[in-house]
Structure 1
């Protein structure tokens, strides 16, 4: 409720107590005019960020005065809006010295600029790092960025953009997905079909029926999967039939579709697939069982945990951790002594996901492995929401001499999601490798936004 004007309040009091004498201190004072906005504030509000920076630089050049806090803040935000986080960061350090409580809104602006300023970087791996952050973001304004990524020269980014639009339920972007059905890369077309099915875009049914009839490879299977989501239940028989095709790629496509559809009547097809003669199909089946999410698939995963192929064992360990259950620890603990380093890291991830709190010693041991990809796998295994105990180890890995573990550790710190991860992420925001800085920016966004959600 707005506060009452002092004059009106005085009259109301007089009306209630006509013989009361109002003290002089209670008499109405002339209303003060709102102070006019500074030139820098006016320029910022008008979107003239270059002008704000000029005003700041002029004030700095004038030896007789130092820029005000307001001007410094506006300059920082202007640098961020212009996609120049490397210029914004020194200002943040001036405004918020080490040991002071962070200004989370300012820090968030720098983090977002660190990500979005690299969305069109010439190097694919840097664009991919930026895109990965945007694709995971739950912000409402990421739609245009994902849509723009569908035009990226990288096939990987285009495919992941199509998938991200579906996962984010951005129905308003369905038109771009329909155009992606004509993409030259099969993986992009498949991702577009899957997302159109998940979004329930009925207008593409005839187009998908044509693809399902015309194509003979995995595309026809994914078209059938999208049609099932759009109400064509009869297409489920086609997907089940594809799971027994001689072609291993078609079998894998069918298992992938069934894993995402999560129809209880098809679980037996996935459980049988862990016995497939092709190790790639067995690995796909193990991953699909984790995606399916039914604890009744754990017996099949138990078989896969003893597979002769290391990749099958590793994926089965991660999937088993996703399913959870009272016996997970006894199933996965032996894999911590597996001959394959990546199987041990996957078993670690499975145990962490299952809530095992006693695996950090194994993680610390693996984190000293000579191979940087193994140290990165350890960091990835600790990327579980709320696993605060992992922060000290991830702080070590974010200072690793190799960029791969640093990138994985920065991502994991964001997924842990605890405010205690912010100091390490701030250090990673100054990393020499752009992809690590981008990933750290994404981690800060996750931590800050999660805190805002909890307090709102």
Structure 2
């Protein structure tokens, strides 16, 4: 008990620096308080969020990234109303580091904020806290004019992994913004429903390669027969990034029927794609593909060589 009082006295002593007339000294006081890693320092750092100097306020917002809880979250949310963009940015970043679901209690009331920046930051902050109360506001935010807000709203819905939200995610997969579509497709990975798989398969024909890439990657989590056929269909995509995700997914799905299509893809100039092809061929373990692997046993890329050796061992087993 004596140690606790001692620690509090140390923090109180450090907090006196917050009243120093020099902004530099006040910044140092915030840093020293954060360095204690003691929750007892939170009220003092939170007080610095309202300092007259923007530099001090920014440092306080950054310092709170090392703490958690409702008081920390409340201080960071209040900093989102700051006049200085740097302070707002620091607060938004720290919000995403919160881990205690109880912290969401201070964020939930702001999930309908009129300010786009504040709303986006609050959605991003509550996402990984998985507060079910955030579902309604997140679905409503899918209609927001800001694509950045919609993207964060999709993230919230995806983390909650609720089948009842599938219609909202499927609609978001058709959003006008590329990033929103891509995020929505990635979020569909939790669902094993035919509707989710159909949405992902359709997205393989999206005009934007980043969307096709996300769809190809997420299809590995659904596992239906239709997705295997669809993935084989994009092995000739003009973007190697899409082909890479399709190859990886086919390997994970143990789609042995695709092995002889993946084998010739080892003859590509992109090391990352050769590496994924080798890994997939090892997972599929079709003996006839050894000819493609042996050709690259001495590949100049060490990761390719490693995967080729592993794949050949799998084929020989």
Q: How does 1:314-325 map to 2 (within 5 A)?
A: 314-325=213-224
Instruction: Give the 3 Å change call, closer, same or farther, for CA 406–288 of structure 1 in structure 2.
Output: farther
List aligned pairs for 1:42-441, cutoff 5 A. 178=68, 184=90, 186=92, 189-190=95-96, 192-193=97-98, 195-197=99-101, 202=102, 204-209=103-108, 216-225=118-127, 229-230=130-131, 233=133, 235-378=134-277, 382=280, 400-402=299-301, 405=304, 409=307
Contact 2:158–2:188 at 8 Å: present in 1 too? yes
Aligned-pair distance for 1:383?
A: 9.7
Counterpart secondary structure, 1:245 = coil
Runs of 4+ in 1 over 6 A off after TM superposition: 179-183, 390-398
Tell me the distance in 2 between the aligned counterparts of 1:257 and 1:205: 12
Partners of 2:297 and 2:169 lie apart in 1 by 38
1:209–1:321 Cα change, 3 Å = closer
Query: Shift of residue 271 of structure 1?
Result: 0.6
Q: How many positions carry a matched residue from both structures?
A: 230
Unmatched 5+ residue regions in structure 1? 1-174, 422-456
**Change beyond 3 A, Cα 1:226–1:373:** closer
Rounded to whole Å, the distance in 2 between the matches of 1:396 and 1:176 is 51
> C-alpha separation between the residues in 2 aligned to 1:196 and 1:406?
43
**Following TM superposition, by how much is the alpha carbon of 1:268 offset from its aligned partner in structure 2, in angstroms?**
0.6
Aligned equivalents of 1:257, 1:406: Cα separation in 2: 40
> Which range moved further: 215-224 or 267-276?
215-224
Distance (whole Å) between structure 2 residues aligned to residue 178 and residue 394 of structure 1: 50
CA contact (8 A) 1:259 1:292 kept: no
Task: Give the TM-score of the pair, scaled to structure 2.
Answer: 0.58
Distance 1:262 1:399, change over 3 A: farther
Q: Give the superposition deviation at 1:307.
A: 0.6
Unaligned runs of 5+ in 2: 1-64, 77-88
Q: For 1:257 and 1:356, how far apart are their aligned partners in 2?
A: 32
Is the CA contact (8 Å cut-off) linking 1:240 and 1:254 kept in structure 2? Answer: yes
Change (3 A) 1:223 1:342: closer
Partner of 2:57: none
Taking the aligned partners of 1:247 and 1:315, their CA distance within structure 2 comes to 22
Deviation, 1:339, is 2.2
2: distance between equivalents of 1:383 and 1:176? 44
1:210/1:176 CA distance change after superposition, 3 Å: farther
| Matching residue of 2:34 | none
Cα 1:334–1:249 shift into 2, 3 Å: same
* Distance in 2, Cα, partners of 1:378 & 1:342: 12
Q: Distance in 2 between matches of 1:340 and 1:253?
A: 27
Task: Check whether the contact 1:224–1:236 (CA below 8 A) recurs between aligned residues.
Answer: no
- CA offsets, 1:196-231, max 9 Å, x none? 33xxxx3x344444775696143211334456x35x
